[in-house]
Structure 1
């Protein structure tokens, strides 16, 4: 069990994917994402292993939920600044977690 204060320390926010690139240097198939988290946080980069269920084209404009206050993590030659969240389906493919309706970029989970 965690405390409420520990939960509040995790910044989970919504952002819109504005750019998607392939990531051939990643060990597992992945995309490099550029996500807009609004004026307070700005644009952040993330590596996401979501190539099995999503094309680059369909990801642009999609809102996603991400943890925004982890330290950057180097993956090959790329620094991932946020952790995009999702759930594994029966085959282990990642299904992105998304808000049910459009909300302003940068909105924090409460």
Structure 2
């Protein structure tokens, strides 16, 4: 793994946001949801596609705070534009477990 500088790390804008809506994404190649996430008044609401259908139902995602990269360019996935990258870790089978916060923090709070 290549080492990076502190200034490299500072370029990645990791923020917490609350999931507002979750929809199935049938046009995605792998099972995924379309998420709408509130990152607070400064960043606003962004959408993301996330392959998290194995461990999470749509209902349990609503209101959950997640950590996402908010300064990537938009990425088109089928007919959908993903505006942020929701982060997570793969389990033993390669299915994603979301990166979340232990306690509620303000939407838009930046990872320090």
Q: Please state which band the TM-score falls in when normalised by the shorter chain.
A: over 0.9
Alignment match, 1:88: 90
What are the Cα deviations for residues 2-53 of structure 1, in whole angstroms up to 9, with x where unaligned?
Answer: 0100100110000000000000000000000000000000000000000001
Unaligned runs of 5+ in 1: none
The normalised TM-score by structure 1 is 0.99
Alignment match, 2:76: 74
Q: How many residues of Structure 1 are paired with residues of Structure 2 in the alignment?
A: 110
Alignment match, 2:17: 15
Alignment match, 1:101: 103
Unaligned runs of 5+ in 2: none
Calculate the aligned-residue CA RMSD, in Å.
0.4
What are the Cα deviations for residues 71-98 of structure 1, in whole angstroms up to 9, with x where unaligned?
Answer: 0000000000000000000111100000
Which aligned runs of 4 or more in structure 1 are off by greater than 2 angstroms? none
The normalised TM-score by structure 2 is 0.97
Counterpart Cα distance in 2 of 1:101 and 1:69: 24
Alignment match, 2:61: 59
